């Protein structure tokens, strides 16, 4: 097979179906072309989808549809065309209806509604931007989580990722020459998370960063000795503060975030 076409179909935005499709596709060393069909919410939209699927060649349809009649029509049309398909939402809805003894609302897009959770997420993102990179130490006392680490340990992207989980996150860069903000010592230690990394991995990351901004790779910023000095200093800060430490070596932001969430005080994320 030269290429597989993945059709991501939803009666809403399709983000859930796309996430599942991408996760599955990452397990195969096969070229994948992804086509997204959001707001498939009526016969005409289904017909357009079917024409595209019929012309695509080898294809898989991954769909999240909450309207029962529409979901059943998609299933029948896929069977008629002999196209493989995966119903991501249907089995979960059916199971919950059976357990709860009541029907689902079958309203597309509820997860994206402008409810309290949505506005908390926006507020958390704005907070992460405002208190990124130690800009204003006063934010440390307002944060749900404070991330500490040397340069290029993914503090900023991790802050933004956690903000989308509705957590207010501030982060502080650690450098031996820069005095720690006094507010840091007033933050409950269970809300402090130190980020560490293998020095050789960090060296490669910093060398890539220097190349990206047009500076020589031999700058002290990427020297192994300097990096080891910074990491030793950071380790001392972590011990001094008594904070939890997460190793980010070879970890994607999502993996690191999962570890950070495990280290949070019980129920903090659920409360949000």
| Sequence-distant contacts of 220-224: CB under 8 A, at least 24 apart | 221/151, 224/199, 224/200
Mean pLDDT of 233-242: 98
Which position has the token pair 């357990």?
Answer: 99
The strand pair at 59-64 and 84-87 is best described as parallel
CA angle 246, 251, 255 (to 5 degrees): 75
Alpha-carbon distance 237 to 192, whole Å?
Answer: 11
Q: What is the pLDDT of residues 97-148, one digit of tens each?
A: 999 999 999 888 887 666 678 889 999 999 999 999 999 999 999 999 999 9
78 with 17, same domain: the answer is yes
Write down how long the chain is.
Answer: 272
Q: DSSP secondary-structure letter at 130?
A: H
**In the beta sheet, which residues pair with residue 37?**
9
Give the number of other CB atoms < 10 A from CB of residue 271: 9
Mean pLDDT of 53-66: 93
Mean pLDDT of 257-264: 90
Alpha-carbon distance 242 to 236, whole Å?
Answer: 10
Mean pLDDT of 53-78: 93
Give Cα 233 distance to the centre of its chain.
Answer: 29
Q: DSSP secondary-structure letter at 32?
A: E
Structural domain ending residue among the three candidates 88, 112, 136: 112
Alpha-carbon distance 164 to 166, whole Å?
Answer: 5
* 266 band by pLDDT with thresholds 50, 70 and 90: low
Report pTM: 0.74
What is the CATH number for 129? 3.40.50
13 with 78, same domain: the answer is yes
Q: What is the pLDDT of residues 98-112, one digit of tens each?
A: 999 999 998 888 876
103 with 120, same domain: the answer is no
Alpha-carbon distance 73 to 62, whole Å?
Answer: 14
Give the number of other CB atoms < 10 A from CB of residue 262: 9
Work out the burial of residue 11: count CB atoms within 10 Å of its CB; fewer than 13 is exposed, 13-18 middle, 19 or more buried: buried
96 with 53, same domain: the answer is yes
206 with 133, same domain: the answer is yes
Q: Which domain holds residue 71?
A: 4-112
Q: Which has more confidence, 266 or 131?
A: 131
* 78 band by pLDDT with thresholds 50, 70 and 90: very high
Flag whether pLDDT at 29 surpasses 50. yes
CA angle 155, 160, 161 (to 5 degrees): 100
Structural domain count, the chain: 2
Supply the pLDDT for residue 185: 96
Flag whether pLDDT at 45 surpasses 60. yes
């Amino acid at each position: 097979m030269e290429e597989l076409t993945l059709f991501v179909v939803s009666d809403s935005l399709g983000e859930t179906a796309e996430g599942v499709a991408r996760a599955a596709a990452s397990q195969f060393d096969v070229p994948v072309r992804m086509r997204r069909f959001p707001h498939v919410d009526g016969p005409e939209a289904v017909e357009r989808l079917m024409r595209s699927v019929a012309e695509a060649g080898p294809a898989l349809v991954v769909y999240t549809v909450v309207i029962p009649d529409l979901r059943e029509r998609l299933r029948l049309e896929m069977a008629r065309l002999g196209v493989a398909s995966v119903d991501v939402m249907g089995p979960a809805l059916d199971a919950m209806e059976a357990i709860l003894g009541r029907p689902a609302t079958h309203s597309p897009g509820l997860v994206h509604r402008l409810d309290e959770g949505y506005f908390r997420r926006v507020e958390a993102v704005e907070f992460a931007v405002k208190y990124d990179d130690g800009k204003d130490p006063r934010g440390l006392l307002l944060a749900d989580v404070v991330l500490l680490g040397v340069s290029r340990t993914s503090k900023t992207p991790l802050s933004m990722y956690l903000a989308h989980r509705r957590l207010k996150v501030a982060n502080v860069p650690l450098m031996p020459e820069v005095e720690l903000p006094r507010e840091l010592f007033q933050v409950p230690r269970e809300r402090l998370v130190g980020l560490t990394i293998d020095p050789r991995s960090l060296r490669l990351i910093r060398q890539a960063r220097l190349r990206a901004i047009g500076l020589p790779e031999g700058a002290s910023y990427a020297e192994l000795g300097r990096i080891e000095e910074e990491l030793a200093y950071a380790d001392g800060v972590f011990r001094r503060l008594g904070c939890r430490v997460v190793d980010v070596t070879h970890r994607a932001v999502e993996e690191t975030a999962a570890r950070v969430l495990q280290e949070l005080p019980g129920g903090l994320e659920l409360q949000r």
